[in-house]
Amino acid sequence: MKARRRTGPTDVVKAIVYERDGGACVRCGTQQDLTIHHRVNRGMGGAREEWINQAHNLLLACRICNGWFEDNPRKSYEAGWKVRRPQLPGEVLVRYTDGREYQLTPDGVRSTTVAAAR
């Protein structure tokens, strides 16, 4: 059996993420040059955990912000744009361009929670 490497999310998941994030970058709001950003990096050995390529681990981001996340890990972790293992993407709120923080679910739902709860 040939080892099959899943390198990224399916087109269906990408479409869910695009819809959920309103077709705009989660950090700067641009609608240009968008890509899918992984909050928890796929890491070595590829996507072993199934949630790696599910909607709550993915954000719509432009290429500039996608690079910014890697250059500014501390701020990215604070905003939930990046998630540090062993935390799971569903446990960490994400800041969007409206300044509010949202919880994401694997099926592509984005809901507000009380920010003060943190």
Which part of the chain contacts Zn ion (CB under 5 A), choosing from 17-25, 31-39, 72-80, 99-107? 17-25
Told to check if 82 binds Zn ion by CB under 5 A, we report no
As a whole number of angstroms, the distance between CA 21 and CA 52 comes to 18
Q: Judged by CB under 5 A, how many residues of this single chain contact Zn ion?
A: 5
CB of 2 to Zn ion, least distance (A): 38
Told to check if 65 binds Zn ion by CB under 5 A, we report yes
Which part of the chain contacts Zn ion (CB under 5 A), choosing from 28-36, 43-51, 79-87, 97-105? 28-36
Told to check if 25 binds Zn ion by CB under 5 A, we report yes
Binds Zn ion by CB under 5 A, chosen from 12, 15, 28, 115: 28
Residues of the shown chain interacting with Zn ion in the complex, contacts defined by CB under 5 A: 25, 27-28, 62, 65
